[in-house]
A and B are shown apart, each in its own frame.
Chain A
Amino acid sequence: AQTVTQSQPEMSVQEAETVTLSCTYDTSENNYYLFWYKQPPSRQMILVIRQEAYKQQNATENRFSVNFQKAAKSFSLKISDSQLGDTAMYFCAFISLPSGTYKYIFGTGTRLKVLA
């Protein structure tokens, strides 16, 4: 069975500091995508960053970057220069695409609090 594990239920970081959120996954598929989604308090979930499994280069979006270790099945998110607006639940998600169907698997989330 495919699983996504986020082992850090809660984390905190000082404003302007760097924090890394961990995510591991398990799959026997070769063609898949990995995502980090952000859910601010009482607001909609939005995509932070995505990574195609066939790409070796780690994805980067401004202050957000990932460390994708395919062999270790690890997909961590690094937030640099943390801002108060980064306070949110962060979900790691996995999708494989056998036969063109979509089935997302999400982790249980990491609640990140950025401290002023």
Chain B
Amino acid sequence: KAGVTQTPRYLIKTRGQQVTLSCSPISGHRSVSWYQQTPGQGLQFLFEYFSETQRNKGNFPGRFSGRQFSNSRSEMNVSTLELGDSALYLCASSSRGPRTGELFFGEGSRLTVL
């Protein structure tokens, strides 16, 4: 079974630009969640999607948005990039089955904002 796939793995942007990150979950997983990882801050929850609906959202500004498609693939978008948005963005999928809550993570997309 293929794991969680995130693209692109690395990207460099400048302030004011926007970026779109993609996440393909494990086949059969309908829940996809996104996290921002920075040194010293750990993982900050961005949002979670289930069956194309955003079920929960973290405390991030409206510049951070996401969506989920009918095949469960998800994208997140960050507009008007700021230097502080430099981070590793992790996507995780979950089956919501008997192993409730277990997350399967992708390798992440490392964003650098110059």
Measured CB to CB, the residues of A under 8 A from B are: 6, 33, 35, 37, 43-47, 50, 91, 93, 95, 97, 100-109
Q: List 27 A-B contacts (CB under 8 A).
A: A6-B42, A33-B100, A35-B103, A37-B103, A44-B3, A44-B106, A45-B90, A45-B105, A46-B105, A91-B42, A91-B43, A95-B101, A100-B55, A101-B55, A102-B31, A102-B33, A102-B48, A102-B50, A102-B56, A103-B48, A103-B58, A104-B33, A104-B103, A105-B45, A106-B35, A106-B43, A108-B40
Report chain B residues within 8 Å CB of A103: 45, 48, 56, 58
**A44 contact from B43, B58, B100, B107, Cβ within 8 A:** B107
Report chain A residues within 8 Å CB of B100: 33, 97
Those of B1-48 within 8 Å (CB) of chain A? 3, 31, 33, 35, 40-45, 48
Please tell me if B68 contacts chain A, counting CB pairs below 8 Å: no
Secondary structure class of chain A's binding surface, majority of residues: strand
Those of B66-98 within 8 Å (CB) of chain A? 90, 92, 94, 96
Q: Tally chain B residues at the interface, Cβ within 8 Å.
A: 27
Report chain B residues within 8 Å CB of A97: 100-101
**B101 contact from A6, A35, A45, A46, Cβ within 8 A:** A35
**Complex-state Cα separation, A35 to B43, whole angstroms:** 14
Report chain B residues within 8 Å CB of A102: 31, 33, 48, 50, 55-56, 94, 96, 101
- Known interface pairs A33-B100, A44-B105. Does A101 touch B48 (Cβ–Cβ under 8 Å)? yes
The reply to whether B102 and A47 contact each other, CB–CB distance below 8 Å, is yes
